[in-house]
Every structure is written in C-alpha cells, then in structure tokens.
A and B are shown apart, each in its own frame.
Chain A
Amino acid sequence: MLHRRDGSRFPPDVTLGIQAKEFNLGFIRPDNLVSHGLRVFRCLLANSKWASSVSLFQVNVQDALNQAMDEELERDERVFLLGEEVAQYDGAYKVSRGLWKKYGDKRIIDTPVTEMGFAGIAVGAAFAGLRPICEFMTWNFSMQAIDQVINSAKTYYMSAGGQPVPIVFRGPNGSSAGKLTNIYCFAAWYGHCPGLKVVSPWNSEDARGLLKAAIRDDNPVVFKANELMYGVPFDLSEEVMHKRLCRTYRKGAHITLVSHSRCVGFCLDAAAVLAKEGVECEVTRVCELATFQLQVKQWRRRGWLLFLWATNKLCYFLIFFLHFICTYISVSVSYDQKELLDIRTATTHLKLG
C-alpha cells in the first residue's frame, strides 16, 4: 500500500478483491522470502531428477498467458483488459480466449482501431487506481501510441512518488512465419526508456510467471511475447515461477549465450549441437532488458559471451546498448585476465515493415 504525500493511499480506499502479497519483477522482498523460498524449492525439485513426483502439464505459451490473465482478473477486480479484438474475437492470437465470456464487457473491452487513444485511456485508468492490461495487436502498432507508453514511465518519477502507473502493455513482438510486414522487434526501442520495465519471456513458465508479476507490479511494464512461440508446448508446473533476474536454462562452462524471447530456443538448439562437440554452453535469458547490466557479474566466469538479439546489428540504439554492456563487462573483469570476447549476432540490417 503506497501512502502519498497528501495522506491519500494508493490503491484507492475502496479496495475490491483480495490484496495478496505483491510480487515484484526481479527483487525478492523480505516479507515474501519464506513463501518464495518454499516455492523455489518446490520448483527446483520439479526441475531436478525427482521431477516425476511433482505434477507437470504441457501448456502452450498462448494458454499460459491466458491462464495468467485469468488468474489475475479473478484475483483483483481492478485488473481489466483492453485492446483490439480481445473480447468477442477471443483475441487476435487467441491469447484472451474465453475471458470475455467469463468476465463480461466491463472487464474485457474491445476498442476501436485507435492505438494512441486507447493506450492513453489505459494509462489514465492506471492513474486513477485501476490495473489495466493494454494489448497491442502487435508491437508494430504500438508505434502509433509510443508516446503514451514511454511517457507513462515518467509520471512516478516526476511526481516524486505521488502518482504510480500500474499498467501492463502486452503483445506479440518480432518475427513471424513467412511474413514480411509487422514483424519488427521493438525490444531495444523500449528497453532504452528508463522507468519502463521491459520483459521478453521465452517458454510457458516464463510467460505465465512474468505476466503475473507484471500485472501485480505497480510500474509500467512492457511485455513482449513472440507469436511463433504461442503454439509451442512446454512443461508447466503448478507453481508460478517468476522473480528470476536472469533465467538460466542450461548450465555450461565454456561459453554463455545470452538472449531473449524466441532466440533462446535457437541458443538451446545451438547448445545441443555444440554439446556433441564437447563445448558446454550456458544459455541465459535476460529478464529485464534494461537492467540486466547489473547481473553481468554472473557472466564474468565465462570466457566467451555471445548475445543473440533479433534486431538490427547496426541499429544505433542497440550499438550503444550492447557496446556499453560489453564495455562494462570488459572493465569489470579485466583484472581476471581472461580474454573476454563478446560477439553480438542479430538480424541483417534491413528494415522490413
């Protein structure tokens, strides 16, 4: 519960639904340590050789997102979803299937094709105490509304803590099968905005956990999934997994592959191929794109560091971004006297629509 300077509380005094403990992206809160510890323990159990004793389901990323939204809509009445075709169409990519039938017009709102307008409305609703999930059909269309997304991040700072903005902007990002249009990846664009949390999950567990954490977070969160991952099934444990700064999918000693979203899959495939040749790769997913420079310490152990990114190599933003990261790593590990070679791979420098 936030207490504003003038004595008012945020969320507003009229509380609807159950106020459960808040989970925040990337940080363990002391009061949650015990329950979190237990959950982590159970999940470690699930990931280990005793996996058969913990129940697992095969769930698509799409269904995982649907589950996450369903659970959060049920848990807190201030949460609502708005976007194009999210209600009666069941979602342009079927992510919100069944939600309109369950929650009705008040909580699942179909908007006209006016991104700037409805993104602004979502941010305004967040100002006034609700917790909107604003869906863009793809992140390409968010360019129409980019001002509202970026400037939602400034309000908490410029009001000196008086006006939080608990909003989630969601949508598919990046490439899709056989398409030439609406396939650009905007991770680097939004990742450069201070005050905005940008997350890009890979598998179902990440998707579900991160979306739940994003909805419960009191800050503006940009949630980018990849459309091609929607139909891919993964094991999903009953417990919610979130709150990992950088998620490691495979351990290895020789090289670290860092990526986000769909490219994590490529990294794992590459790791499987390299394993046959005796090269052990560690595959890591970046959790929050803007703050992972703080987590670089764990990569210091590795001699080689490879970033796999689905945006243009020569993109100015990305150059600054990754160059800075690599410089930081080099500076911080130089005393280890390891030859740190960082390679950035990305798509070819072409701008498709």
Chain B
Amino acid sequence: MPSLINLIEEDRQQQGGEKRSETAGRWQQDSMQKMLTIISNVLRGSASRNGAQVVSEAASMVVSSRSYADFTPEATFDIKKVDLHRLEEGPPLTATLTREEGLKYYRTMQTIRRMELKADQLYKQKIIRGFCHLYDGQEACAVGIEGGITLSDHLITAYRAHGYTLTRGGTVREIMAELTGRRGGIAKGKGGSMHMYTKNFYGGNGIVGAQVPLGAGVALACKYLGNDQLCVSLYGDGAANQGQIFETYNMSSLWKLPIIFICENNQYGMGTSVERSSASTEYYKRGDYIPGLRVDGMDVLCVREATKFAADHCRSGKGPILMELQTYRYHGHSMSDPGVSYRTREEIQEVRSKSDPISMLKDRMLSNNMASIEELKEIDIAVRKEIEDAAQFATTDPEPPLDDLCSHIFATDQPFDVRGATPWTKLTSTS
C-alpha cells in the first residue's frame, strides 16, 4: 500500500505543485487519510460494510482524488461555418466552453433525452394519453438557444415543446405530471402536452404556425415597453410554408421588432420530407428581406453562438433575424407514428451514430479532458433517478378535482355558474 500512496503523491506533484492552494493541500491530506482508512478496512475485511461498496468507494475516491486539479477549465472548439443570407458577417467560427457550462449542457440534454424516452414508455403503458410529440434528437436546439439568451427574454414554440418547457424553468416532475394529466402538472393537468407555460414561455401551441404571429406580438410588447428583451419564435419546416408566417415577416421587418425567427428543420413535417413540401428548402432565405443564418442544429455550441449573434442583432435595433437549425428527430412525428414509413431505419441510425448531440458534447469534453467518464456517468445516474422520481410522481399524483373543471374560464371575474351537459347540471367557475 505504501507504493500506491507514493504513486499518487508523485502523480500529483507532477501536475504542478505551484497550482496547489492551501485548501487543495488540506483537501489532499484529508482524502489521503480517507483512502488509507478505506484500504485498511478492505484489508481487514470488515463485516459491517459491503465489500463491493467499499471497493467502488475506494475506486471513486482514487479517481476523484485526481480530479479537480486535472480537468481543463475551459477549451475552445472549432464549429461549423454558418451559411449567411443578407449578412456580411456571421457568428464566430470558434466557441469557448467552460467545464461548468459543459456539464450543465450535458445534464440538461441528458435530462431532456431521458424525459422524452420515459414519456414514450409511459405512453405505451397508456399512462400518458392524447397527443405526445417527442423531442429526442433535437436537444441541442433547446439547450443551445437557452445558452444564447437569458431567462428574461421570451420564447414561444409549437407543439414539440417539452424540451423548451424544461429549459425555460419548468421541472421534470411538473412536465411529466402535466403529460399524465395530474394536478401537480405545470398547468394543473388542464393543458396537456401542448399547453405548458412558464414565466416568459408562452407554450406549446396546437395550431401549426399560429405561434409565430403570437411571438411577434410578444416582441412588439418588448419594444413598446422598452425593456431590451427579445422574443424567440420557433416553428418547424412544415410550418415554414404557412401564410401567417410571411405576414409576420412583413410586419416585424416593417416595425423592426426584436424577434428571432427560428426554423427547426428536422427534415420531415409529419411524414412529408422537405423536398416534397417546399419549393425552396432554403428556409433561412425564406424571409427574403430578413437576414438569415443556416446553422448545424445538432451541435450545441454552434446553436449557442448563432443565437448569441442573432440576439445581438436584435438588441441593437436592426430588427428581426431568421435562423434555420438543421436538426433531426429520432422518434416519429408523434406517438402514433412509428416513424419508418417515410424514412428508413438506416437513416435514423446513421444520424444517431454520427451526429447525436449528446455524444458530440461528451466526446468533446472527454477528449479535451474537461470531465471524466465517471463524472458523466454519475450525471447520467442522477438524471435517471430524477426521471424515475418524476415518473413515479406523475403516475401516483391524483387527477384534478371535478370542481376545477370549469374554473379559469375568465380572469378576475366573480364566480359564476356554468351549464353542464344537461340543463339542470350546474358547475361553478372561479377565476
């Protein structure tokens, strides 16, 4: 055992003794003490503790004892060049990622992924019913956009909204309880999959394309109130052909509204590929007089840098800007769509293996020594546990009470009677 301790000590000295602070020294001493205790316990074969646990504790102690001094706090990555429309310059070609940011993005993306897969599972068990549009594969979009704006900015999207609800401040428990329609849900069980709201997040909208003018209205309010906030208005490749979106381009450009239009191009609108639905698949150019960017939507850093660029453009008063995020969804359009009648399984597998956003971030962090595999595994385990707890809550929470059926019809009104299914049934509505 002395040899093991010596090895560790030498290793640490090699890392650069001058970097050691006083606290680090004390910490190292403590950890050394703990390690010795654990090893001696193993040798003694103490019956009071589980052998495997002791060994894994020792392993993690050995591993983490070489952690914080080793990891790179910050690294710069090359990101894909962005296609530009009516812009002289685009976002930068490199992005800086700190360790904390990396872990945060990893955790959020993993949470979205696990949450969507859990929703899939619960749907197949018929615990979630109705509509359920899953977001796995597109996590980099939600996390990257949130990285480029602040929580005081506004965001509105269409029905594939679970990921955005999370990044905008919702918790997994609330989201899953809303999907199962329980009173602990983010909309108390009355909104469902497509109507989740948080502060400065306006859902979740069921009508394809209708959220884009709503987003422009929010941007108008930001300009009216002069609060230097902006609105991000998302839509898909299917919605990109809607007339009201072009009406919105016109008005937001005319009035120079602080709005970022984002087209999440996941190549398929339900089952129609972009080539079969759009005469022009260059969605970033569809704004015509509005400057546009085409961004790799599977790379969270690319999305973040592009969003920061777009946000600066809006905040400087230049008016709207359009971003097309090229992304992909692994699941079908909704839970009733197996997702393979209009595309091949090989295509899905190819994207999963080559461009998965979580794997991409993980590889980047590991290859630049920004985190260890164990640390990321711990995050995975913690996320899994969080999702399990949330699913448990969502399954066991009671449904909203019948008294709630007619409440919230009108705001700030006195309670009034609402006719039920027959002329003699009356329910009360409270605001």
CA distance A147 to B214 in the complex (A): 12
**3 tightest CB-CB pairs across the interface, nearest first?**
A124-B217, A120-B213, A117-B247
Q: With contacts A6-B198, A124-B220 known, is A117 near B251, CB below 8 A?
A: yes
Contacts of B431 in A (CB 8 A): 161
Q: Is A46's CB within 8 Å of the partner chain B?
A: no
Partner of A2, one of B191, B197, B411, B414: B411
Chain A residues with CB under 8 Å of B214's CB are 120-121, 123-124, 127, 148
**Are B221 and A112 in touch, CB under 8 angstroms?**
no
Question: Are the C-beta atoms of B216 and A327 separated by less than 8 Å?
Answer: no
Closest CB in chain A relative to B66 CB, distance in Å: 42
Chain A residues lying within 8 Å of B409, measured Cβ to Cβ, are 156-157, 194-195
Q: Is A130 an interface residue (CB 8 A)?
A: yes
A122 to B215, CA, bound (A): 10
Binding site for A on B (CB under 8 A): 154, 156, 169, 187-192, 195, 197-199, 202-203, 206-207, 210, 212-222, 224-225, 227, 231, 243-244, 247-248, 250-251, 254-255, 404, 407-414, 416-417, 419, 423-424, 431
Chain B residues near A55: list those with CB within 8 A.
none
Contacts of A197 in B (CB 8 A): 410
Contact stretch, chosen from A22-30, A62-70, A94-102, A200-208: A22-30
CA distance A173 to B180 in the complex (A): 43
* A171-211, CB < 8 A from B: 194-195, 197
Q: In the bound complex, how far is the Cα of B416 from the Cα of A36, in angstroms?
A: 20
Asked whether A163 and B416 contact (CB < 8 A) given A112-B251, A124-B218, A129-B225, the answer is no
Contact B248 A117 (CB under 8 A): yes
A125 partner, pick from B207, B221, B407, B413, beta carbons under 8 A: B221
> Contacting B250 at CB < 8 Å: which of A2, A112, A327?
A112
Tell whether, in the assembled complex, residue B188 and residue A2 are in contact, meaning their CB atoms are under 8 Å apart. Answer: no
Cβ 8 A contact of A29, one of B251, B404, B414:
B414
Asked if A116 is an interface residue, CB under 8 A from chain B, the answer is yes
By a CB distance below 8 angstroms, the chain B residues around A328 are 423
- The distance in angstroms between the C-alpha atoms of A80 and B224, with both chains bound, is 10
- Most B C-beta atoms less than 10 A away, residue of A155, A291, A293: A155
* Docked complex: A103-135 residues within 8 A CB-CB of B: 106, 109, 111-112, 114, 116-130, 132
B212-A120 in contact (CB<8A): yes
For A128, list chain B residues within 8 Å (CB).
Answer: 154, 217-218, 220-222, 231
Q: Which A residues between 6 and 51 are near B, CB-CB below 8 angstroms?
A: 6, 8, 12, 14, 16, 22, 24, 27-29
A24 in contact with B250 given A124-B221, A194-B409 (CB within 8 Å): no
A280 to B408, CA, bound (A): 42
Q: Which residues of B contact A22 (CB under 8 A)?
A: 412
Q: Which residues of A lie under 8 Å from residue B410 when comparing CB positions?
A: 156, 195, 197, 218-219
Residues of A with Cβ closer than 8 Å to B?
A: 2, 4, 6, 8, 12, 14, 16, 22, 24, 27-29, 80, 106, 109, 111-112, 114, 116-130, 132, 147-148, 151, 155-164, 166, 194-195, 197, 217-219, 291, 293-294, 324, 327-328, 331-332
Output the least CB separation between B236 and chain A (Å): 17
Is B222's CB under 8 angstroms from A218's CB?
A: no
Could you tell me the distance in whole angstroms from the C-beta of B220 to the nearest C-beta in chain A? 5
Q: A114-B244, A124-B156, A157-B409 are in contact. List 14 more A-B contacts (CB 8 A).
A: A117-B244, A120-B210, A120-B214, A120-B216, A124-B202, A127-B202, A128-B220, A130-B220, A158-B190, A159-B191, A159-B197, A160-B408, A161-B407, A331-B424
A/B interface sample: 15 pairs, CB < 8 A:
A6-B198, A14-B225, A22-B412, A114-B247, A117-B251, A121-B216, A121-B220, A124-B219, A128-B154, A128-B220, A151-B207, A157-B190, A158-B195, A160-B191, A161-B407
With both chains docked as a complex, state the minimum distance between the C-beta of A160 and any C-beta of chain B, in angstroms: 4
Residue among B217, B222, B409, B417 having the largest count of chain A Cβ atoms under 10 Å: B217
A106-B224, A164-B411 given; A120·B417 CB < 8 A: no
Contact status A14-B224, CB under 8 Å: no
A162 to B188, CA, bound (A): 10
Q: A161 and B244 in contact (CB under 8 A), knowing A8-B199, A130-B221?
A: no
Q: Are the C-beta atoms of A294 and B417 separated by less than 8 Å?
A: yes
Known contacts A27-B414, A194-B409; decide if A163 and B202 are in contact (CB<8 Å). yes
Which residues from B are CB-within-8-Å of A129?
Answer: 221, 225
Give the distance in Å from the alpha carbon of A134 to the alpha carbon of B255 in the complex: 17
**For residue A127, which residues in chain B have a CB less than 8 angstroms away from its CB?**
202, 214, 217-218, 221
B220 touches A125 (CB 8 A): yes
- Interface pair B250/A117, CB less than 8 Å apart: yes
Closest CB in chain A relative to B173 CB, distance in Å:
14
A162:B221 contact, CB within 8 angstroms:
no
For B202, list chain A residues within 8 Å (CB): 124, 127, 163
The answer to whether B198 and A124 touch across the interface, beta carbons within 8 angstroms, is: no
Report the minimum CB–CB distance from B377 to chain A (whole Å): 33
Chain B residues, CB < 8 A from A164: 411-412
CA distance A124 to B216 in the complex (A): 7
Query: What are the residues of chain A within 8 A of B254 when measuring CB–CB?
Result: 112
CB contacts (< 8 Å) of A125 on chain B: these are 217-218, 220-221, 224
How far, in Å, is B213 (CB) from chain A's closest CB?
2
Beyond A157-B190, A159-B197, A160-B190, whether A14 also contacts B407 by CB under 8 A is: no
A147: which B residues are within 8 A, CB to CB? 207, 210
Contacts of A4 in B (CB 8 A): 199
Bound complex: CA A203 to CA B225 (Å): 35
- Contact A121 B248, beta carbon cutoff 8 Å: yes
What is the distance, in angstroms, from B266's C-beta to the closest C-beta of chain A?
24
Chain B residue contacts of A294, Cβ below 8 A: 416-417
The CA of A161 and the CA of B407, in the complex, are separated in Å by 8
Closest CB in chain A relative to B227 CB, distance in Å: 7
